[in-house]
Amino acid sequence: MTDHAPKKLFIKTYGCQMNVYDSERMAEALGGRGYVETQVAEEADMILLNTCHIREKAAEKVYSELGRLKPLKAEKPDLKIGVAGCVAQAEGEEIMRRQPLVDLVVGPQSYHRLPAMDAALATGGKALDTDFPAEDKFSGLAARPRAQRGPTAFLTVQEGCDKFCAFCVVPYTRGAEVSRPAERVVDEARALVEAGVREITLLGQNVNAYHGHEGGLAGLVRTLAAIDGLERIRYTTSHPNDMDDALIAAHGDCPELMPYLHLPVQSGSDRILKAMNRKHTAEAYLRLIERLRDARPDLALSGDFIVGFPGETEADFADTMGLVEAVGYAQAYSFKYSTRPGTPAAEKPQLPGDVMSDRLARLQALLKAQQTAAQEAMVGREVGVLFEKPGRLPGQMVGRSDHLCAVHVEAPEALKGEIARVRITASAPNSLAGTLA
């Protein structure tokens, strides 16, 4: 693009933090084609739906959204509509067949090719790319722009998964595990810090399997911690089988690595864990938690749980409840099992819906009680808070504590992007309140 007015790009992002990162990079890639982002779909010259295939009925939700875009496409025949992400990878040509209004379908490993795909659309055709290309998509993307950023950012360091859990589509939609070279990650982190970022969350489908640094994820964390101005580091999502000694040690002696860890277990039953192909036991998970807490006693833990996996009995579910009681989670995500076509578990007899709903309600009641207790235990303590934005009330700022809790504080807006000590004075269901210490 040269002297033409900028074209407008609207991206709707579904799912995980990795999709948030991918959407940012897609917008940057299309910036070279003259696109600027808009938050209003009706203004857009291109609409991209960056999809997730993890949750129930993911594909149906995408088709429903595409149906809602039909009137807009009718009003603006030149509007380009694209589907990206994991549903695009899984559905491929089926998306274009079911919804002819779609002009572009691109998988999560091919979005660096978006500029070329957009150029192809200019000739009046359509574009489909759901390959797993040999080239590194990150090296094909332009350097991130130096525009001022908020104080927190995501940075993808690893993609794909080799674990093949029986319920999960990630190995099929994201491919095998691939790690970005450490020097490229460090360069991108430095650019983010220069743009105003103080906290970076390292992302991967199986982030602690990262091997782009000779010291693994722990080595990368320590290298990033040496960047002047980078105050906080987090990572997600991890697998118990890849939590090595070096990473456990980093939680104890690297102050930049925040005391919060998302470590999914999915079930507390060894029988169900085996059926899920998790390749670890409940006891091994509990011993791992002990080691982590020995290294960092104030570590806040988060987890993922699936109830109603095919074959789960009431005794299996009781084992899950027992594991939750033993760990004590500060936060957790829990879901009823839902089938994913093409995965091994999808072929097994499913549990009745009312049984799954009852178990989920009981599990969520326990998890909520633990989260409430963890929040209330913070009252009276002093914590570090990275302020991110103004709150809803005048004179209020909102930030995140070391343990990833939202904290509301009466503070000047000048504190945005700064870390300050805060004394916690009250606990609410999903946030804390405090005063500057």
Q: Are 310 and 346 in contact (CB under 8 A)?
A: no
The candidate with the shortest Cα–Cα distance to 218, out of 194, 193, 200, 242, is 242
Q: Are 418 and 389 in contact (CB under 8 A)?
A: no
SS3 (DSSP) at 8? strand
Does the annotation list 165 as a binding residue? yes
Contacts of 250 (CB under 8 A, 6+ apart): 218, 221, 222, 257
Residues whose CB is less than 8 angstroms from the CB of residue 45 and which lie 6 or more positions away in sequence, other chains included:
7, 8, 9, 35, 78, 79, 80
| Torsion angles phi and psi, residue 214, rounded to 5 | -60, -20
DSSP class per residue in 56-95: TTHHHHHHHHHHHHHHHHHH-TT-EEEEEEHHHHHHTHHH
Rounded to whole angstroms, the Cα distance separating 116 from 111 reads 10
In this structure, the chain runs to a length of 437
- The answer on whether 254 is annotated among ligand-binding residues is no
SS (H, E, C) 200-229: EEEECCCHHHCCCCCCHHHHHHHHHHCCCC
Structure tokens at 272: 């169900």
Most distant CA pair in the chain, distance: 68
Asked if residue 195 lies in contact with residue 147, where contact means CB atoms within 8 angstroms, the answer is yes
Residue 86 counted as an annotated binding residue = yes
DSSP structure class, residue 242: G
Give how far Cα 369 sits from Cα of 4, 166, 328, 366, 375, Å.
57, 30, 10, 5, 10
Beta bridge partners of 224: none
Query: Binding site residues, as ranges?
Result: 16, 52, 86, 161, 165, 168
Known binding-site residue numbers for [4Fe-4S] cluster = 16, 52, 86, 161, 165, 168
